Amino acid sequence: MTTAQAKVLTRQARNKPLTPEGNEEAKELYRRAIDEEDINYLPAYAELSYAWCRDLENDWGPRQTALEQAERRALEAVELSRDENKGWHKFFMGHWYLGIFRWHQGKFTESFQEYATARELVESKPDSEWYVKNLADLDADMAEALIYYGDPKRAVQLVLDAMDRNKDHAYWYHWLLARGYYHLGRYMDAIVEIGKIGDDKRPNDVRLIVAASTAQLADAETDTDKAKAMLSEAKAIMKEFSEIEPNWTLAKSAAYEYGSATERDHWITGLDKAGLKHSVNDNP
């Protein structure tokens, strides 16, 4: 049983595809990292919590189980960070991932408190490259919570600042920035931003942003022929999404926790215009 092997398993889990099957494989690797290699390896607990949050986001299993497991693993990570004898004392990741879980519960105030605690812990160890990358990732990730809370303007600025600080940022920065642009009504900017994600990194979910943005642009277009062509394009993109996620519906998108009914309605309206299924029995 070694920490080195726990790191290897955790790295392998992070690289699994964002699909139901990939997420189950990731969860199993995180469990092995903890149970078979290093019971005190905090990153595996935090990442396992996030994998359960993915189940919540995508309706990939029983909601109650996902809620219980995501919270349990995040709290275990936080507890390890409080123990002076486990090697992870004051490590930021537990609070960060607990913050992720809290906004999935709709507890935005608690979520932002956890993000703030995580930020303080990162800032307490300003080790140049490590500090810059983790602080940027933390801020960019918090932007998603802000979008659902109802503050897309601040979310967009957080991601832009994080991109400026971390030039070698991950693809998901563009994903979050695009969603923020959508909520600000900057639909073309949202589409352009998704286009910056390489094909090998582009998850199916981003089609929702492109389809909804295209449908909103079509709705505002005064040239009738151009509007029809744009709406047709939006529906074609949504059809591609539904072929991969046949059980995803408008109701499931609306079931996300929001702090703003206005932002929820804005998102759902765009998805509806683009043709997201109302029922699993609808034809894509």
Do residues 72 and 51 touch, judged by C-beta distance below 8 A?
no
pLDDT digits (tens, 9 = 90+) for 128-177: 788 889 999 999 999 999 999 999 999 999 999 999 999 999 999 999 99
Q: Kindly state the helix (H) or strand (E) to which residue 69 belongs, with its residue range.
A: helix 63-82
Q: For residue 135, give the nearest of 116, 109, 154 by alpha carbon.
A: 116
pLDDT 10s digit of each residue in the chain, 284 long?
689 999 999 999 999 998 899 999 999 999 999 999 999 999 999 999 999 999 999 999 999 999 999 999 999 999 999 999 989 999 999 999 999 999 999 999 999 999 999 999 999 877 778 888 999 999 999 999 999 999 999 999 999 999 999 999 999 999 999 999 999 999 999 999 999 998 888 889 999 999 999 999 999 999 999 999 999 999 999 999 999 999 999 999 999 999 999 999 999 999 999 999 998 787 76
CA dihedral 51, 55, 58, 59 (to 10 degrees): 180
User: What token pair was written down for 94?
Assistant: 């537990």
Using DSSP, state whether 187 is helix, strand or coil.
Answer: helix
Rounded CA-CA distance 270/216 in Å is 6
CA dihedral 256, 261, 262, 265 (to 10 degrees): 50
Number of other CB atoms surrounding residue 235 within 10 Å: 19
Rounded CA-CA distance 275/282 in Å is 10
Rounded CA-CA distance 96/186 in Å is 29
User: What token pair was written down for 14?
Assistant: 């992070």
Q: What sign results for the dihedral spanned by CA atoms 275, 191, 168, 119?
A: negative
Q: For residue 45, give the nearest of 82, 84, 85 by alpha carbon.
A: 82
Report in angstroms the alpha-carbon separations of 80 from 43, 48, 76, 151.
Answer: 10, 14, 6, 32
In order of their start, the domains of the chain are 1-125 (1.25.40.10)
pLDDT at 280: 78
**Whole-model pTM over 0.85:** yes
Rounded CA-CA distance 114/156 in Å is 20
Which residues are within 8 A (CB) of 52 and not within 5 positions of it... i.e. 6 or more apart? Answer: 27, 66, 69, 70, 73
pLDDT at 126: 72
